[in-house]
Amino acid sequence: MKSESGDNPNYAFPLRDVETQFKVEFRQGPNVKSLGSLSYGQLLREAYPGAVYYYATMPYRVTKVFINSKMVIVKKEKRYTTKPQSLPTMIFPNLQEDVYQNYSRGDLVCLESHLQVRELINGLKERRGSTEKAYSYPLLGEIGIFFDLPLFSRNYFTTGAIITHPVFNQDKVDVALIAQFVYEAFILLIPYERQDINYATDKFRIKIDPLKKDGKFIAIYDQTYGSLRLTSRVLEEDVLNRILVEAKNVASKQELIDVNQQTLDAFDLLIKATNKSKNNLSLGQKIIPLLGSNYKRVILPKSKGVLLTMNNEEFTIERVFLTLDGLKYEGKTPHQRSEKLMPAIEHVKELPGESKVGYYNLTTGIIEKLTKKQIEAIEKEYKENTIVE
């Protein structure tokens, strides 16, 4: 971030959204005209590949998005309008470290932790007058644009409140609708701006008692990159009960969305659970990445992580190797064609529950898949031989 900002960090990183800015340029022959700048979040809403981007009421078509150089190239376009064709947002809670608070009330489990959020666009919908047509990625020139990837995505780190209950996995219970009404009730009772808060549903990808693998959950999270922990208010004493009561009230009285009885009954179970006694849980044990003097935790080849030094892009590991500067990965992001990157392993973050991990033996140079008992034994030895100042 320091190297990107140079002598003007206030221009590179606006205080409201501390993300690198993408410059938008209109090029016509030798002439280059600047059309402002956008954060990565704005890019996914307004200037993704193929989008019609409006600047000072004038329409421009996005022809190229250069992620590495943070540049968006546009050309003049007619007054069409577009909107992104999005896939469900993916949420990766960090359940093994950085858990701020966690508790249960009956079968209801609530926690606040660091999250990795992945937003995905797989195409766009374009309106020309009264006609709307959908175009899926990759674009092969249908609208005069070529984009050869199946997805355009954004990964970022934030914090959020996670709510889960066994009822979410029952047939006919619409978890997405529950999340929507909980979000609306939260905004109504605690009036944050919608651009600062978002919501999604997903499922746990790992099992950590009492959380079950594939158990569905609701996430209410800070949409600001890096997080201001605004959504911690969800889990405050009695606030969650008020939110759920208001959400049930809105869901049962509104007439725009059809809500089935099983989903309304699920609200009753959640509200009933919030009135039960609170029990603290023991989530959030710190992962020890370095085991003893011989092992280092790494992401396995052919698995994926997030490259922190390149806008948190998805990074596919091809090999792990030892250099004089320490362990490094070799691999590619989706936007790399032939050139391979070799970041330090500390610059690639695991995707909790998705990245496959092992332990690199610094003595033999072999990646080993240690058993739980082996890891516990090495961790015990590591702790016993570590001097705590």
pLDDT in tens, 19-37: 678 999 998 888 899 998 9
Pairing of strands 108-128, 131-136: antiparallel
**Domains, the chain, with CATH or none:** 2-79 (2.40.10), 86-280 (no CATH), 290-384 (no CATH)
The sign one gets for the Cα dihedral 269, 272, 274, 276 is negative
* DSSP codes joined into one string, 175-190: HHHHHHHHHHHHHHHS
Q: Which two tokens stand for residue 106?
A: 């009956």
The distance from CA 257 to its chain's CA centroid, rounded to whole angstroms, is 27
Model pLDDT, residue 227: 77
The distance from CA 19 to its chain's CA centroid, rounded to whole angstroms, is 14
Asked whether the predicted pLDDT for residue 11 surpasses 80, the reply is no
Q: Which two tokens stand for residue 91?
A: 């949420």
3-state SS record for 20-84: CCEEEEEEECCEEEEEEEECHHHHHHHCCCCCEEEECCEEEEEEEEECCCCEEEEEECCCCEEEE
- Closest to 37 in 3D by CA, of 57, 64, 19, 15: 19
In this prediction the pTM is 0.83
Q: Which two tokens stand for residue 236?
A: 């405050």
99-113, 256-270, 329-343: the lowest-pLDDT one: 329-343
Q: Looking at residues 247-268, what average pLDDT do you find?
A: 93
**Per residue in 319-369, pLDDT tens?**
999 998 889 999 999 877 778 899 999 999 998 888 999 999 888 889 988
My answer on whether omega of the bond before 138 falls inside 30° of 0, hence cis, is: yes
Q: Looking at residues 279-303, what average pLDDT do you find?
A: 78
The band of 389, judged by pLDDT with boundaries at 50, 70 and 90, is very low
Torsion of CA 302, 307, 313, 317, to 10 degrees: -10
d(CA 368, CA 30): 56
d(CA 7, CA 24): 21
* DSSP codes joined into one string, 140-151: ESTTS-EE--S-
Q: Output the average pLDDT for the chain.
A: 88
* Higher pLDDT, residue 357 or 18: 357
86-90, 186-190, 227-231: the lowest-pLDDT one: 227-231
Q: Which two tokens stand for residue 29?
A: 């022959």
Q: Looking at residues 186-204, what average pLDDT do you find?
A: 93
Q: 74-78: long-range contacts (C-beta < 8 A, 24 or more apart)?
A: 74/24, 74/25, 74/26, 74/35, 74/47, 75/26, 75/27, 76/26, 77/52, 78/128
The DSSP call for residue 166 is G
Q: Which two tokens stand for residue 296?
A: 């280092």
Model pLDDT, residue 10: 65
Q: Looking at residues 140-147, what average pLDDT do you find?
A: 90
Asked whether the predicted pLDDT for residue 17 surpasses 70, the reply is no
Asked whether the predicted pLDDT for residue 242 surpasses 60, the reply is yes
Element (H, E) at 375: helix 372-384
